[in-house]
Amino acid sequence: MNILDKIVIDKRKEVDLRKSLIPISQLEQSVLFERNNISLAQNLRNSQSGIIAEHKRRSPSKSVINQSLNVQDVANGYEIAGVCGMSVLTDGKYFGGSLDDLIITRASCKLPLLRKEFIIDTYQILEAKAYGADVILLIAAILTRAEIKRFSELAKSLNLDVLLEVHNEEELHKSIMPSLDMLGVNNRNLKTFDVNLDTSKQLSAIIPNDFVKVSESGISSIEAIKELQPFGYKGFLIGENFMKTDNPGESAKQFIKSLL
């Protein structure tokens, strides 16, 4: 069993528990349920850098990345740096994140926020909206085509952008549908954790141009971005690179300055 399978098993239990504690009607009464969302896809289309910066305390592949930073300071720093959007991990067990991180980030900045989560239930999409996210992540490896359709259409009805993540050609073919905004290619092999930018290059040719192309994982240098831009990538999700420094906002600022 690979790490993704384990995460999904735990996630089902966690979501069942959350559903029993907070009914959907309560989520829909959240003040944030009424807010106008900011489109990450639009921001990426209009940006020269395309940086989506992440708040991430730890991960299964790297264990602890940075436990000491305040999510509010990270969000402020990223906003000042001029990133296009921010990804907030809300998985507790494997990544040390929480929905509280999302709500604090929402109160701290005006960036479009991606709820980085393993979504396996429509309940989590309503949660994303209630806690202030603008974008949800759907991972093709853990969903059927019917689930991707149902989840993405629900997200669109709530005015949320949808970033769909694929790892290979098979996942890409199963997933393409009009209710997606962005197609993310994860360069990390989830079975071995190896990272290879060629994954993004190879899949770029078969991603239709209606979608904003995003490359994820293993992007830690200006060179990597410059290498991927000719393949049509407009978005670059950077997780560990900024978070492993003492001041992620300042790191992002210097990175974007060098990039432009």
Whole-number pLDDT of residue 173: 96
Structural domains in the chain plus CATH codes: 3-259 (3.20.20.70)
d(CA 189, CA 117): 18
d(CA 213, CA 218): 16
pLDDT over 70 for what percent of the chain? 100
DSSP state at residue 36: P
Query: Coil, helix or strand for 65?
Result: coil
Whole-number pLDDT of residue 187: 94
Mean pLDDT of the chain: 95
Whole-number pLDDT of residue 107: 97
Which runs of E-coded beta strand occur in 76-223?
85-89, 113-116, 135-139, 161-166, 182-186, 212-216
Would you name the residues annotated as active-site residues?
Answer: 54, 56, 116, 165, 186, 216-217
Question: What confidence tens digit (pLDDT) does each residue in 65-94 have?
Answer: 777 788 999 999 999 999 999 999 999 999
| pTM of the shown model | 0.96
Neighbouring residues of 205: CB distance < 8 A, sequence distance ≥ 6: 231
Structure tokens at 229: 């831009």
Burial of 172 (0-12, 13-18, 19+ CB in 10 A): middle
Question: What confidence tens digit (pLDDT) does each residue in 181-238 have?
Answer: 999 999 988 777 788 999 999 999 999 999 999 999 989 899 999 999 999 999 999 9
Whole-number pLDDT of residue 1: 76
pLDDT over 90 for what percent of the chain? 87
**Is pLDDT larger for residue 59 or for residue 134?**
134
Question: What Rg, from alpha-carbon coordinates, does the chain have?
Answer: 17
Answer whether residue 240 shows pLDDT above 90: no
Answer whether residue 254 shows pLDDT above 80: yes
Instruction: Identify the sign of the CA torsion 185, 220, 42, 148.
Output: positive
d(CA 250, CA 242): 9
d(CA 7, CA 5): 5
